[in-house]
Amino acid sequence: MSTSAQPQPASANIDQLSINTIRTLAMDAVQQANSGHPGTPMAMAPVAYCLWQQFLRFDPDDPIWPNRDRFVLSIGHASMLLYSLLHLAKVKAVNPEYETLGELSVPLEDLKNFRQLDSKCPGHPEYRWTSGVETTTGPLGQGVASSVGMAIAAKWMAQHFNRPGFDMFDYAVYALAGDGCMMEGVSGEAASLAGHLKLSNLCWIYDNNHITIEGNTALAYSDDVATRFIGYGWNVTRVGDANDQEMLSRAFKVFKATTDRPTLIIVDSHIAYGAPNKQDTSAAHGEPLGEQEIRLTKLNYGWPEDAKFLVPDGVYERFEELMGQRGHELREAWIAKFGEYSREFPELANQLFKMQHRRLPDEWDRDIPFFPPDAKGLAGRDASGKVQNVIAQRVPWLIGGAADLAPSTKTRLTFDGAGDFGPANYAGRNFHFGIREHAMGSILNGMSTSKIRPFGSGFLIFSDYMRAPIRLSALMELPVIYIFTHDSIGVGEDGPTHQPVEQLISLRAIPGLTVLRPGDANEIAEAWRLIMEFRHQPVCLILSRQNMPTLDRTKYAPASGLAKGAYVLADALDGEPEVILIGTGSEVSLCVDAYEKLTAEGIKTRVVSMPSWELFDHQPKEYRDRVLPPDVRARVSVEQASTVGWQRYAYRSIGMNTFGASAPLKELQKKFGFTPDAVVAAAKEEIIKAVGR
């Protein structure tokens, strides 16, 4: 059925008609928006069409069916390719509660409003905004790197959940990449790990068109990509013409038949339109074709030259006949099989259901330890490792690892059966990401979109290598757990290259990311209790390398106050405080030591532990004003990090305004003013200044 009274193209080949529909929708949407990239969607339309119609196991009526194949558009600037496919396949929308709704994910009106406010077709594909988008892409390389996480998740879930006769997970992951993705270092990191792990369910399709924004890739790029990927341990095949449906089909069949390694399909293409022999690169650069060029191109396709957003008779039906019917049958069979599985393996079925809905097992937090008072205390990393191991035994899908630093970050799961993930044991729960921080972050995102609860760890200073995936975790509202240890100049002798200064404030600047820097072992236990309840937000858990005293909670306030982001830990003995000391992490105990000195001198002092700015800022104003009364004008923050941003809470900050230095910790604390006497002196000065405020 035609969507309008517009003249129909003169074509007897329904598949070619469908491919050209994808192309013309992309041209029209970009032209109407006067913004976007039509060239790559036009060039890759035959490739995507072949994959979606012949191979992709995806039910448009249920785009979050757990065992669906994943399609990742790593070249996110080609978003109109994906939006056109989602529209033509009539993919349904899904709400945040994982309920499939009746309306289309991408109605035709949203295609017409491409790149406009509130359209389901933003400039780059956005996860949780447009159903059918498996991960947010745009920063090149992130999509292919995240696809490795999706493939890892499939392997792990297959080993954990599958039983003889019940293959609940065996999905494949396809990612469409371009020259830019291949140039970005993160794709190399991720491809190297994927080859090492022998992820045979992973297929990357490389659009080898030799074009980037500055022009031909020969300006800056001459890699032999095939040889490179063979070196990574991949199977590599090539299709010499992106329009050759037979060769494309053969390449995907080769992937399906390859059982011992991931596959790279190199597809040669060029961006061409208008006259048959014309080639131009402008459409790769975010520029519309122009009305005249669009008319010439449509004439070349046998298309009505003035028709806009035309979906010819038979195209919707062709998608329903091939992808729609195949996906529906596969999903229905899976749902029926899950019913049998639930009767045969009720405990596993319950786990699967809860994992897919981001819920926690009953009594998951039953054995979280309480740490007794201890002046010597525990390093933050050690306390966290103890708590994490307890929780992981009750939440089987809490899995992850480190960028070669698990012995230092204390994130290894050590209980019986935890094991190491790898080709010999895809059920292992400890991951060795290697020295690949950037790829680790992207892979965690891919794992999380598959509903696993992943964690990844490293030193806080190396969070700089992971900015892009951490930011995307927040943008996608994924509950990824980033664990960063060695959180301050407390690293000591390693010196300023390893001592984070600006990293805390840079992470706090990311919208939607919760940063937690607990002050003792019991705050760390409460942090984990809080983190595990998150369903739609990532967290950075910031931990010390050095010991922190475990505070006496019969004398000071309960650590459960952490859930509010900041709480009164110790208060003035009589009446309103004259001065408030605000600390995070290892500096909380420093504030407590200063509090005891000030109190002994008769100075009314309050200590506020503030492990999370974000959580505190979300509390009602009444609570915030109780913790930090506006009329108490003497406030001192103490944190071994940049003082930027503390002006929101304190009038004076003891912190870092330079890089650190290489020396034993106690010498560094004295040099930079992190001693009880220095805090006491600052508090007294602020009390005097407050009179004039």
Helix or strand or coil: residue 540?
A: strand
Q: Among 654, 411, 429, which Cα is nearest to 541's?
A: 411
Full DSSP string of 376-397 = EEEEHHHHHHHHHHHHHHH-TT
Asked if 458 and 608 touch (Cβ cutoff 8 Å), the reply is no
CA dihedral angle for residue 479, residue 480, residue 481, residue 487, rounded to 10 degrees: -120
Separation of first and last alpha carbons in the chain: 74
Determine the Cα–Cα distance for residues 655 and 660; give it in Å rounded to an integer.
11
| Three-state secondary structure of 135-201 | CCCCCCCHHHHHHHHHHHHHHHHHHHHCECCECCCCCCEEEEECHHHHHCHHHHHHHHHHHHHCCCC
Q: Which run of H or E residues covers position 41? A: helix 39-54
Contacts of 677-680 with C-beta under 8 Å, sequence gap 24+, read 677/597, 678/654, 679/581, 679/590, 679/591, 679/593, 679/594, 679/636, 679/638, 679/654, 680/594, 680/597, 680/598
DSSP 476-526: HT---EEEEES-SGGGGGG-TTTS-SSHHHHHHTSTT-EEE--SSHHHHHH
Identity of residue 18? S
* DSSP secondary structure code for residue 7 in this structure: P
CB-neighbour burial class of residue 467 (10 A; exposed 0-12, middle 13-18, buried 19+): middle
* Backbone conformation region of residue 244, classed left if phi is above 0, alpha if psi is from -120 to 50, else beta: beta
- The CA-based angle 201-205-211, given to 5 degrees, is 160
Provide Rg for the chain, Cα atoms: 28
φ, ψ of residue 636 in degrees (nearest 5):
-130, 125
Strand residues in 610-661 grouped as ranges (E)? 635-642, 652-656
The Cα–Cα gap between 656 and 129 comes to: 39
Structure token pair of residue 25? 């929708």
* Contact by Cβ (8 Å): 505, 641: yes
Catalytic residues: 437
Quick count: other Cβ atoms within 10 Å of Cβ 497? 10
CA distance 125 to 137: 6
Burial class from Cβ neighbours inside 10 Å (0-12, 13-18, 19+) for residue 375 reads exposed
Strands 605-609 and 567-570: antiparallel
State how far the Cα of 683 lies from the Cα of 671, in Å rounded to an integer.
18
